[in-house]
Amino acid sequence: MVCPWWLGFAIDNPLRRLFHVPAKILGPYVRPGDTVIDVGAGTGFFSIPLAGMVGTAGRVTAIDIQPEMLLALARKARTKGVAERITPHLASPYSLGEHREADFIIAFWVVHEVPDQRAFLAEVRSLLKPGGLFLLVEPLVHVSEKSFEQTVQFAAEAGLAVMGSPGIRLSRGVLLKRKEETF
């Protein structure tokens, strides 16, 4: 089930910033000038800080399936002075759409809501630059260890290699890297 737009405040609030600090979670992976995709961006919990991290030379594409979430994100981005670095994109539940290849993609507490995880993960891989990183994080409350392991297996089948398992509070997480095809 997708988190309804009217509950956006529940996933983007000051209390959550106490245990999910965007700079701490994303800092090791994002550099100035990077192209980043935030899948399931919601109202901008990660997109807004990412826009600061990529700097004026970087770009963030904030993808969501709910237009109300993207409208709230755009308002916040203007307020924070980073709107010119963020491209909101309305996707469908079945496709992220066409985007420029990214250095880094994040899907935080999203993949368990995707109707076809295999197709989604193949699409994520296709959007990564060679050597690009993908941080996949799922909530402990909604996603069992067995389900998470299945998702990681789907990611491997899609051409993503496990680089590590970052410790993120209240979550199961894995850092993946685009595998290069060998012919």
Q: Looking at the domain assignment, is residue 9 inside a domain?
A: no
Q: What is the pLDDT of residue 11?
A: 64
**CATH number of the domain residue 112 falls in:** 3.40.50.150
Q: Looking at the domain assignment, is residue 123 inside a domain?
A: yes
Backbone φ and ψ of 136, nearest 5°: -110, 120
Beta-carbon neighbour count of residue 83 at 10 Å? 17
Backbone φ and ψ of 149, nearest 5°: -60, -35
Where in the sequence is the domain holding 130, given as residue range(s)?
21-178
Q: Looking at the domain assignment, is residue 11 inside a domain?
A: no
Overall number of domains in the chain: 1
Q: Looking at the domain assignment, is residue 47 inside a domain?
A: yes
pTM: 0.92
Give the tens place of pLDDT for each residue, 66-112. 999 999 999 999 999 999 999 999 999 999 999 999 999 999 999 99
Give the tens place of pLDDT for each residue, 144-163. 999 999 999 999 999 999 99
Mind spelling out the 3-state secondary structure of the chain? CCCCHHHHHHHCCCCHHHHCCHHHHHCCCCCCCCEEEEECCCCCCCHHHHHHHHCCCCEEEEEECCHHHHHHHHHHHHHHCCHHHEEEEECECCECCCCCCEEEEEEECCHHHCCCHHHHHHHHHHHEEEEEEEEEEEECCCCCHHHHHHHHHHHHHCCEEEEECCCCCCEEEEEEEECCCCC
Q: Looking at the domain assignment, is residue 115 inside a domain?
A: yes
Q: Looking at the domain assignment, is residue 46 inside a domain?
A: yes
Q: Looking at the domain assignment, is residue 53 inside a domain?
A: yes
Strand order in the sheet with 160-164: 86-90, 59-64, 35-39, 102-108, 128-139, 171-178, 160-164
Is the CB of residue 64 less than 8 Å from the CB of residue 46?
no
pLDDT at 10 over 60: no
Q: Looking at the domain assignment, is residue 76 inside a domain?
A: yes
